[in-house]
A and B are shown apart, each in its own frame.
Chain A
Amino acid sequence: MELILETLGLAESAQLLSLSPPGWGANLLRGLANSLKIAFGAFGFGLLIGLFGAYGKLYGGPVLRDLLAIYTTVIRAVPELVLILILYYVGTDLINKASSAMGYGRVEISGIVAGIWVLGIVQGAYSIEVLRGAILAVPPGQIEAARAFGMPPLMTMWRVTIPAMMSFATPGLANLWLIATKDTALLAIVGFSELTLETRQAASSTRAYFTFFLAAGGLYLMVTLCSGVVFAWIEKWARRGQPSLREGRS
């Protein structure tokens, strides 16, 4: 192994990337773990917003519908970077005001929580649209049948709408998950030590820019490709019992 690296001239890079202290591998992996945590949280938070938002957009009153339309339009028209800064400052300000109103001092907000809050709000706007489309694609008869049986609305959502819309929503949600993993890189600008920032710190202190940025790119790519496999599997599971799209086509 070492011989191969030596002959390829990669021994130095391997040393820089090694997991034990002189190398920076452990830092990169810690950054990756932080990135994934934030991406998972933001995706989940976004899904929650998306589900209720989609219901609001479909079944809500006119005021709620207009407010949600403004939310989705504004979020999708403003760069994520600007939104992250605005939401970050608003969030920290609000929490500090609340805590000082209740008599506590200033609170330090953990980077992960702030990242999840910020990216979750951004993700929410996109998932509202994805889930709204998916709910609309469910044959209305199925939901009407559940209603006719006297199912309460929440149970209808849990037992009928969500399972039936899963197969329509998975491709869009897979896309959103990929956007979430890539958007975590933007948090580097606000100073969270996720993968991109860790990489930059490692790169600028060793001057080995290519090694580290390529390594980080490889890690991101691995996450993307693995997610692709997982989502293909989820989609297959969500489509179980449905006729295959391929067979229907000529």
Chain B
Amino acid sequence: MTTLKSLMIPHRIVMMLLFAALALWCALSLRWDWIPKYAPLALEGLWTTIWILAVTTVLGFLLAVPLGLAQAIGPWYLSIPARTFCTIIRGTPLLLQIWLLYYGLGSLFPQFPWIRSSELWPYLRQAWPYAVLALTFSYAGYEGEVMRGAFSGVAKGQLEAAKSFGMRRFTMFRRIWLPQAIRNVLPTLGGETILQLKATPLVATITVIDIYAVSSRVRSDTFIVYEPLLLLAVVYMVIAGVITLAFKRFENQVPR
């Protein structure tokens, strides 16, 4: 896409110089003296963002496979709940889902003494389990719809060939159906993962300290508005770029 040669066109060189000048101006004339003070907190926040993203995409994908399968070939008593779940998740804002889980469940749980005395209570009092749950459901909802298409998109002949070899149903699913479905959705999966990255700052609204929450804290502590936000945007762009590159490499490794 972007080779060195395609960048060496006169107007692009001018634009890059302009951009470098802009970046230099930002670096010199904007206020960056808050960075050393907040750097440790920012690193922690960055780590929170990354692990929430990784955990929710993996869990969400694991949940999306049965959801997609139920919608593609399941009997009605599985496919209707799966479809309803996907419609509800896709039809309501994620912010509302997060708040419903955090404030709703969070206010419901303390009413039951056996939950309060259980081993899980120290975790249930924190915010991150609700954030992880909401983001996992959201990813599963969107991805379940994608996987439904992917499962129905695998060529019938492949499955029939597997069956005629006498493969058992689960082996067939593991060796033929799932790998081909995943191969077909890899580009979509990359896009969905970036969408998931862009959804992670919402967890800051329920007091999880991610990188977005750190930037809000800098803003409210020091009244510096633009600098933390610009840096935050750059951080997200870098993460999105890394995800894109990783998926591209992964796609190239998969045989077509």
| Chain A interface residues toward B at CB < 8 A | 62-63, 66, 74, 76-83, 85-86, 89, 178, 182-186, 188-189, 196, 199-200, 203-204, 207, 209-210, 213-214, 216-217, 220-221, 224-225
Is the CB of B173 closer than 8 A to any CB of chain A? Answer: no
The contact of A182 among B12, B93, B225, by CB within 8 Å, is: B93
The contact of A79 among B91, B201, B230, by CB within 8 Å, is: B201
The contact of A78 among B9, B12, B99, B237, by CB within 8 Å, is: B237
CA distance A216 to B92 in the complex (A): 9
What chain B residues lie within 8 Å of A74 (beta carbons)?
A: 233, 237
CB contacts under 8 Å to A, within B33-50, are none
Shortest distance from the beta carbon of B53 to any chain A beta carbon, whole Å: 11
Contact B236 A89 (CB under 8 A): no
A-B contact count (CB 8 A): 107
CB contacts under 8 Å to A, within B166-219, are 194, 197-202, 205, 212
What chain B residues lie within 8 Å of A185 (beta carbons)?
A: 93-96
Contact A78 B233 (CB under 8 A): yes
Number of interface residues of B (CB under 8 A): 39
Contacting chain A: which of B23-31, B60-68, B103-111, B247-255?
B103-111
Is the CB of B245 closer than 8 A to any CB of chain A? Answer: no
| CB-nearest residue of chain A to B198 | A79
Interface of chain A: mostly helix, strand, loop or mixed: helix
Shortest distance from the beta carbon of B27 to any chain A beta carbon, whole Å: 18
| Chain B interface residues toward A at CB < 8 A | 9, 11-12, 15, 87-88, 90-97, 99-100, 103-104, 107-108, 194, 197-202, 205, 212, 225-226, 229-230, 232-233, 236-237, 240-241
What chain B residues lie within 8 Å of A63 (beta carbons)?
A: 11, 15
What chain B residues lie within 8 Å of A83 (beta carbons)?
A: 233
The contact of B107 among A89, A188, A209, by CB within 8 Å, is: A209
Contact A89 B212 (CB under 8 A): no
The contact of B96 among A178, A213, A224, by CB within 8 Å, is: A213
Contact B198 A196 (CB under 8 A): no
Shortest distance from the beta carbon of B65 to any chain A beta carbon, whole Å: 23
Contact B100 A86 (CB under 8 A): no
The contact of A210 among B9, B104, B197, B202, by CB within 8 Å, is: B104
Contact A82 B88 (CB under 8 A): no
The contact of A82 among B108, B212, B225, by CB within 8 Å, is: B212
The contact of B212 among A79, A200, A207, A217, by CB within 8 Å, is: A79
What chain B residues lie within 8 Å of A182 (beta carbons)?
A: 92-94
A62-B9, A63-B15, A189-B205 are contacts. A217–B100 as well, Cβ < 8 Å? yes
A66-B12, A77-B240, A81-B201 are contacts. A86–B94 as well, Cβ < 8 Å? no
9 nearest A-B residue pairs (beta carbon): A185-B93, A224-B91, A213-B100, A79-B198, A77-B240, A182-B93, A209-B104, A209-B103, A221-B91
A82-B232, A182-B92, A221-B91 are contacts. A77–B104 as well, Cβ < 8 Å? no
Q: Given A77-B194, A182-B93, 12 other A-B contacts at CB below 8 A?
A: A63-B11, A74-B233, A77-B240, A78-B237, A79-B200, A81-B198, A82-B201, A182-B92, A182-B94, A200-B103, A210-B104, A221-B87
